Amino acid sequence: MADTTDRWQPSPQLRALLYTDFDGNPADPDDVIADALDDDGYLERTPGLTEILQDENADPAGRLLACCALTSWADPLGYDTVIHAATHPDNVAWRGQSADRFFSQDDTFGLLADAVGSSADMVSERGTADRRVEAARSLISLADRFQFDRHISSLLTRELVEACQDEIRSVVEGGITHLASGVHIPFDLGLQLALLTVAMKKFDEERANNAMLRLAAARPGERALRELADATGSSLWTM
């Protein structure tokens, strides 16, 4: 999950909740989160993670992990925390607690995107489908200003794309303008916009095609151009 620094260590409480499997053995948080869906194991760990997430004095990296876990389990508090974080992106306590390996930029919103995306199978059981959509909308709205990299794809499933059409259109337009301005952008905005324009083709093909042309003209980078080529089956984007 979070690519935190080598020096960081989880608190004893967090270690028991996310670094210990249901047989009491050391485990990776991703495995614990997935395994917790079997036999409703997540119900056992939700109270402790809720306590960590709501504790403003708790370790920020620990709160991020707690949020990712609860969100992956379609917990309403997880979704509400994601929405609040996206609404106040510059004031999130855990910003900078996880960084990507390519650009060394904060990728905490990408981790939240993955958590929202992976929660699809739980929303019916927990009655939180609407909150999931709102969380997806709030994160997509940040994608022209903050790093998501390929994590944005976690929010581009058919049902979420259909529900987030306005946000996708707005972010693509704003992002292309930002990219074309020539200002330095410390992450691969071009790739994120390429993924979003490809998703846009599902509901507004004409506007998506126009956006792809303008995106390509804005020199979005090789990764973005390859994505456009793969999605359209055309080599024109890479010439």
What does the pLDDT look like over 22-40, one tens digit per residue? 999 999 999 999 999 988 9
Q: State which amino acid sits at residue 53.
A: L
pLDDT of residue 237: 58
Instruction: Provide the H-helix boundaries in 105-221.
Output: 108-118, 123-126, 129-140, 158-163, 165-180, 189-200, 205-217
Angstrom CA distances, 145 to 96, 140, 175, 187, 223, stand at: 15, 10, 8, 9, 18
Burial-class residue 216 by CB neighbours within 10 Å (0-12, 13-18, 19+).
buried
pLDDT of residue 3: 45
Among residues 131, 3, 147, which one has the least CA distance to residue 89? 147
Residue with tokens 């916009």: 193
Q: Tokens at residue 223, please? A: 């990764």
DSSP designation for 19:
S
> For residue 1, how many C-alpha atoms fall within 13 Å in the half-sphere facing its CB?
29
The CA distance from 59 to 11, in Å, is 8
C-beta atoms surrounding 186 within 10 Å: 10
- What's the pTM value of the predicted model, to 2 decimals? 0.93
The CA distance from 97 to 18, in Å, is 17
Residue with tokens 């995107």: 113
- Residue 92's φ and ψ, nearest 5 degrees, are -80, 130
pLDDT of residue 4: 47
List, for the chain, all residue ranges whose pLDDT scores fall below the cut of 50. Answer: 1-5
pLDDT of residue 136: 98
pLDDT tens-digit series, residues 130-160: 999 999 999 999 999 999 999 999 999 999 9
Q: Tokens at residue 9, please? A: 């260590």
pLDDT of residue 100: 87
Sign of CA pseudo-dihedral 184, 2, 4, 135? positive
Q: Tokens at residue 192, please? A: 């994120």
